[in-house]
Amino acid sequence: MPRTILRIDSSARRDGSVSRDLTDRITARLAGDDTRILTRDLAEGLPLLTEAWIGANFTPEADRTEAQRAELALSDSLIAELKAADTIVIGLPVYNFGLPAALKAWIDLVARAGVTFRYTEAGPEGLLGAKRVIVAAASGGTAFGSDFDFATRYLTHVLGFLGLTDITVLGADRLALDAEAALAAAHAAVDQLPRAA
């Protein structure tokens, strides 16, 4: 049965981007002859949430106007891509200790109560189901897993909140200190990824 990989890039850079190079390598490593690859380049721009969007989101689906449905159309498309994917590959460059604004905008558009998560008496429950997620991270000075690593910790937390808990984080950190060693370690980690979840 054909499998689908959703590749999400968020680096503002296209030339010389380490996270984009890693998503290239990961996608090539995981894809088979019958793999369908969906690509979402967040650097092309995403809108920020507005009062109109929030109003549409909290209006019951059956009661939404055409204008409200239009407000949610992009969000619906992004969520459909997530639901269609068996594996999700996310490029995460660390900007100022955090996520690129475009990646945060994507999170805001896909984290929707009653659609990708819900609240229950036992606590919140993610609704995106069992999918494999690989985060390809890159940082100039932040060591992944350190107290200053807000980016990968936040991203894995919010993905888990949506039900995506099978997450592998790999990448090249502290590139400003020893780029050659960081890239070699990241490439080796990609080469060791199991092809099937």
Scan for tokens 């494999």, then name that residue.
Answer: 132
Three-point CA angle 41, 173, 32, nearest 5°:
50
Contact 6, 40 (CB under 8 A): yes
Contact 100, 2 (CB under 8 A): no
Residue 50 to residues 89, 124, 173, Cα–Cα distance (Å):
28, 24, 34
Longest dimension (CA), the chain: 56
Helix (H) or strand (E) holding 4: strand 4-9
Cβ count near 70 (within 10 Å): 12
**Residue 11, annotated ligand binder?**
yes
Angle at 123 between CA 119 and CA 129, to 5 degrees: 70
Q: 18 labelled as ligand-binding?
A: yes
Which residue numbers belong to the known binding site? 11, 17-19
Which residue numbers belong to the known binding site for FMN? 11, 17-19
